[in-house]
Amino acid sequence: MEPIYYFIAIFGGLIAGIINTLAGNGSVITLTILTEIMGLPPNVANGTNRIGIWTQCVSGSYSFYKNGKLDFQRAKIFIIPAVLGAIVGVSLAVNISNEQFKDVFKYLMLLLLIIVILNPKKWMQESKIDQPLNIWIIAPLFFALGFYGGFIQMGMGIFFLFVMLSVAKYDIIESNAVKVFVIAIYMVVVIAIFQWKGLIDWKIGGIMAIGQTVGGYYTANYASNYPNAKIWAYRFLLVAMVIAVVKMFY
């Protein structure tokens, strides 16, 4: 591999780690690098991409926890349904194409973009996590999120934030903290299944993960300590969604 490719992989991973930790859809960058520059087949790129997602989520979770933004006890209600959904999703991902699913994804993303633009205050609300959660609503929603994350992952963070703010009533920073923690948990299972099927390039994935890990850690640290972090999280989210919609439709 030429030295320039190492730089592209690490720098692209860094940007993706920042976007994924504050918003979501950083996989648009990493999957493009893996397929268009590194030349990996789509299914191998899908598996290889999960390495950096896991490392950035682990480093981000640690940073959020260290700064008091992640409560493991409160987060555990989301883990089991998400993991179960991810197992089903990745089982499909290693056997069938996700191209048709992307058609559904782009219209969902367009709908969410409209919601984000029309109601910005919702995305900067204060937490109301003292309210009890209805397990009959939470379980199927997070199973669906896990399924999507296991199947394709791209844009999953944005959908996760929408559910956390709308249903769980977390604020955007604590929602991101729970997001990276839950993804870190189920990504272990997803990586194991992709590896079992021989669909991971560990060298390329490991190089890209360097940037993603650094991006995840320092972005979580910034988001935990700066008063204007909610505003920047909203802005990152908006930009990530606009880029995703433009890329999908054009």
User: What backbone phi and psi angles, to 5 degrees, belong to 248?
Assistant: -70, -40
pLDDT at 98 over 80: no
pLDDT at 97: 63
Contact 149, 101 (CB under 8 A): no
The vertex-47 CA angle with 207 and 102, nearest 5°, equals 120
Per residue in 156-176, pLDDT (tens digit) is 888 888 888 888 888 888 999
User: What backbone phi and psi angles, to 5 degrees, belong to 201?
Assistant: -100, 100
Burial 149-176, CB ≥16 within 10 A → b, else e: bbbbbbbbbbbbbbbbbeebbbbbbbbb
Per residue in 103-150, pLDDT (tens digit) is 666 777 787 788 778 777 766 767 766 677 788 999 999 999 999 888
Q: Rounded to an integer, what distance in angstroms lies between the CA atom of residue 12 and that of residue 26?
A: 9
Residue 155, by phi and psi: left (phi above 0), alpha (psi -120 to 50) or beta?
left
Per residue in 71-84, pLDDT (tens digit) is 888 888 898 999 99
220 exposure class (CB count in 10 Å sphere: 0-12, 13-18, 19+)? buried
Higher pLDDT, 104 or 218: 218
Q: Rounded to an integer, what distance in angstroms lies between the CA atom of residue 197 and that of residue 232?
A: 39
pTM of the model: 0.86
Q: Rounded to an integer, what distance in angstroms lies between the CA atom of residue 162 and that of residue 224?
A: 19
Could you tell me what percent of the chain has a pLDDT over 90? 40
